[in-house]
A and B are shown apart, each in its own frame.
Chain A
Amino acid sequence: MKFDTPAGQNPIDRLKVVGQPTDRIDGKYKTTGTAPYAYERNDVAPDAAYGYVLGAGIAKGRVRRIDTASARQAPGVIAIVTTLDTPRVERGVMNVAYLFGGDVIQHYHQAIAVVVAETFEQARAASFLVQVEYAPEAGKFDLAAEAAGAEPVPAESGEGSGGDGEERVGDFEGAFAQAPVTLDAAYTTADESHAMMEPHATLAAWDGDRVTLWTANQMIGWGHGSIAKMLDLPKAKVRLDAPYVGGGFGGKLFVRADAVLAALASKAAGRPVKVALTRPLIANNTTHRPATIQRVRIGATQDGTITAIAHESISGNLPDGDPETAVNQTKLLYAGANRLTAMKLAHLDLPEGNAMRAPGEAPGLAVLEIAMDEMAEKLGLDPVEFRIRNDTQVDPNQPDRRFSHRDLVGCLKLGAERFGWGKRNPKPGQVRDGQWLVGIGMAAAFRNNMVMKSGARVRLDASGTVTVETDMTDVGTGSYTIIAQTAAEMMGVPLDRVVARLGDSDFPTSSGSGGQFGANSSTAGVYAACVKLREAVAQKLGFNATDAVFEDGEVRSGNRAIPLAEAAAGGELVAEDTIEFGDISKVQQQSTFGAHFVEVGVDLYTAEVRVRRMLAVCAAGRILNPKSARSQVIGGMVMGTGAALMEELAVDAKRGFFANHDLAGYEVPVHADIPHQEVIFLDEVDPMSSPMKAKGVGELGISGIAAAVANAVYNATGIRVRDYPITLDKLLDRMPDAA
């Protein structure tokens, strides 16, 4: 199905199943521990051997020698595959660093060997016996030191944001020089780690020249093609399966070393092998969100109309890597006739920088929305009012291009009302609650709505059960449930008559999970397949497909009503289709919007920051399942609170690695850090987006939240911290007198 005109009335609009806050259909498996993740497939490979991965102990250079003699003699060892035995493996989709093979070390903890043994304990013990000699080389590891030499480069995040190295509208410098009120401030954001709870893991099994990988991966379509290329096999001889994925956040968008090593080790061992990256390997072996150095300049008239806005960002990456697209949202969020955005990239030899939840917008809005708060204060304007005053209904870079639907103002106004924003004291450092200085802050949220081609197959059997098959993944996003809801709505059956089967590369290729495009795109693919199945059913039962009503397990037209199951009485009906998005997705700007409101307490004596209240109001098209969508938003708010207050990969700029590479050293929010969270979805649809009229929400929640926390800390203390994370050491020496 080609989506090339705005969606009209369709069966989804009935909202009998879609749009309902249904419990997740996979919940009973996840809560009982019976949902199988990649490392747990005793059902398909009960005799799997154990692979243990060794990471390089240098950040840059070459491996001169790997002595495996002792390790090979260790008890239980079946095989050892080293990077020196293996020609350099081709890179897959979006890979920047090579994952394995050859003697070149590009980053610390790059995989250099996998030891396979009968048990995990034996593989681990034998790995300690592997002797490695390196020829280290000097590398560049300090972003601040390399920033001066950074070059402007164009980039796409691969997840919906990007642009040229430098983009200009009007005359920024001229307008900024003439503006009566100006802000020019520099900020930094930290390197961050996805830290999903399930480590990257793969079980590989060969059958002759065919290989199956049960693997933790968000994008089966990409991964399928990538593995075929890496192993030099035709795609038909490769199968990937990922029915459950224990979180990804962008870290599992692409094939990683666990998958490559499991496949190579299984071939060497002559039996199935499972490989999980140990937690201490993950931060340096895989990818991370790159740190940024950003500068924002805003010029405005006395009444708060922005006349000039510039946002520049510098980040680092390995050769062939991209910059963090942190300035993207600044092209679209606020009006202003004179504009400049620029991204610069410095060459660093740290591990690979790549997509992490809302790449670009998460660190970009973390900065822009502090700058807006600072500017509002300079103007003597309320921060909510300042944003409303500079709303735009058109793309400021191309004023004849409208937003398909934009209600940022609605989010700001409703959020302000519900949060009690009117009671805020605009003068910082004034509100006390015992030992706590209390402040509230807000920020706008913005994230583009990407759409991706997505396929599905739908089956109807004689029992009236509808089965959906698509390689779409559920990485915690609720895909199982919204896909089943879509099929139930389309076929007119209750949710419990639908079976959703996901994550298998033998199924039609879907959008996959990333860039908050998954929910809308994959359900639109299911919609397309269901339209075809409805046609097949109508034909079988002698109805005209265009006027047949599918409802209550029946197909009706005029005064005829026949049970849906009867259409499959003579044999299963199968339909398959793919939704493809035409120019309609580009003629108008499709984005999602929100407003974050946060209250914090800052301990007067220790400067410890505690988040006390959080509210997000979101405008993101039709919400397919308000329960799971709300969870996506609060989850983004939690991760963004981590970015605001604690998350920072500590760079050892001498040895060139992230020193705090486990969950004790790299701190993420825990229960005690997060209060009750409120989310409100504006009741809206966007017919330009898809037949579902939905948009993404998975990354909207993290976009802007860090700045809302930072602005609340400022309102509480009067201390403006421009370097994330806002740890107490950055506040302590400037805290107000405790007296």
Chain B
Amino acid sequence: MLGATAAAPEGAGAWAADTSARTPAPTDAPVLAKVTFTVNGQRRDLELDTRTSLLDAAREHLHLTGSKKGCDHGQCGACTMIVDGRRINACLTLAVMHQGAEITTIEGLGQPDALHPMQAAFVKHDGYQCGYCTPGQICSGVAVLDEIRAGIPSHVTADLEAAPTVTEAEIRERMSGNICRCGAYSNIVEAMTEVAGRSA
């Protein structure tokens, strides 16, 4: 950061204000980099523009379009994937940062004729409507139950010394990074509660 600041040109303020002088330098050719990771159990070797997000690597390069782009800014959760056992917003991370990672997308959890228990519970409890946030909700839901099992506390965990339990309050708090504009929240909590009970 220090280097970047020091490298700022003299009189940067004037340069920014004078739009006529703001003729940008021609852009260099994209910088490509190789990255290898495992997606849904399958090794994938990619050579990507380093600006490619993990989300776009999946959607545009691997054609795994189950992970959704709702905002591309880490504000909605529709792109949630499970990377090395933890859920992340795949739009907020570059693909080349995940060399060697184990990545699970919605396609890796289950298929239409062989649903993951969380997917089946979402269908049963109607935990979705338009379906666009749904893959992110389900990936988040699976990871949330793992987080609670692993003893990771949340904002609403009252006792940080005790192991957290699967309560509706814990689910709602931990799932709040996944927006559902159709408003299926009440049903999603029921689906997750059922899955948690079954696997407990």
Residues of A within 8 A of B98 (CB): none
Q: Is B175 an interface residue (CB 8 A)?
A: yes
Residues of B within 8 A of A133 (CB): 19
Given the complex of chains A and B, what is the CA–CA distance between A295 and B179 in angstroms?
A: 34
Given A30-B134, A37-B132: A670 and B186 interface contact (C-beta under 8 Å):
no
- Tell me whether B30 and A75 are in contact (CB under 8 A): yes
Given A36-B65, A42-B63, A671-B189: A129 and B27 interface contact (C-beta under 8 Å):
yes
Q: Is B68 an interface residue (CB 8 A)?
A: yes
**Binding site secondary structure of chain B:** loop
Given A23-B126, A70-B23, A246-B131: A671 and B106 interface contact (C-beta under 8 Å):
no
- Tell me whether B19 and A669 are in contact (CB under 8 A): no
Residues of B within 8 A of A279 (CB): 70-73, 75-76
- Chain A residue nearest to B185 (CB atoms) is A674
Residues of A within 8 A of B195 (CB): none
- Chain B residue nearest to A663 (CB atoms) is B75
Which of A126, A476, A671 contacts B176 (CB under 8 A)?
A: A671
Interface size on B, residues (CB 8 A): 72
Given the complex of chains A and B, what is the CA–CA distance between A623 and B175 in angstroms?
A: 31
- Indicate with 1 or 0, residue by residue over B137-151, a CB within 8 angstroms of chain A CB atoms: 010000000000000
Given the complex of chains A and B, what is the CA–CA distance between A255 and B14 in angstroms?
A: 42
Q: Is B157 an interface residue (CB 8 A)?
A: no
Which of B19, B51, B123 contacts A31 (CB under 8 A)?
A: B123
Residues of B within 8 A of A26 (CB): 131
Question: Which residues of A from 461 to 493 have beta carbons under 8 Å from B?
Answer: 475-478
Which of A121, A198, A249, A280 contacts B68 (CB under 8 A)?
A: A198
**Binding site secondary structure of chain A:** loop
> How many residue pairs bridge A and B at CB < 8 Å?
223
Q: Is A627 an interface residue (CB 8 A)?
A: yes
- Shortest distance in angstroms between A479's beta carbon and chain B's nearest beta carbon? 11
Interface-facing stretch out of B5-13, B111-119, B158-166: B111-119
- Indicate with 1 or 0, residue by residue over B46-61, a CB within 8 angstroms of chain A CB atoms: 0001011000100110
- Tell me whether A672 and B115 are in contact (CB under 8 A): no
Question: Which residues of A from 88 to 126 have beta carbons under 8 Å from B?
Answer: 119-122, 125-126
- Tell me whether B132 and A247 are in contact (CB under 8 A): yes
- Tell me whether B179 and A197 are in contact (CB under 8 A): yes
Q: Is A562 an interface residue (CB 8 A)?
A: no
Given the complex of chains A and B, what is the CA–CA distance between A391 and B68 in angstroms?
A: 47
Which of A120, A634, A639 contacts B181 (CB under 8 A)?
A: A639
- Shortest distance in angstroms between A186's beta carbon and chain B's nearest beta carbon? 30
- Tell me whether B130 and A671 are in contact (CB under 8 A): no
Residues of A within 8 A of B75 (CB): 279, 662-664
Q: Is B39 an interface residue (CB 8 A)?
A: no
The 24 listed contacts between A and B (C-beta, < 8 Å) are A27-B123, A28-B113, A30-B128, A31-B119, A31-B131, A32-B110, A32-B119, A34-B111, A35-B131, A37-B65, A42-B63, A70-B26, A131-B19, A133-B19, A247-B182, A279-B73, A630-B126, A631-B184, A634-B183, A670-B185, A671-B188, A672-B175, A674-B183, A676-B189
**Could you tell me which A residues sit within 8 Å of B by CB distance?**
23-24, 26-37, 39-40, 42, 46, 70, 73-76, 119-122, 125-126, 128-129, 131, 133, 194-199, 244-249, 276, 278-280, 475-478, 627-628, 630-632, 634-639, 662-664, 668-672, 674-677
**Could you tell me which B residues sit within 8 Å of A by CB distance?**
19, 22-24, 26-30, 49, 51-52, 56, 59-60, 63-73, 75-76, 78, 105-107, 109-113, 115, 119-120, 122-124, 126, 128-135, 138, 168, 171-173, 175-189
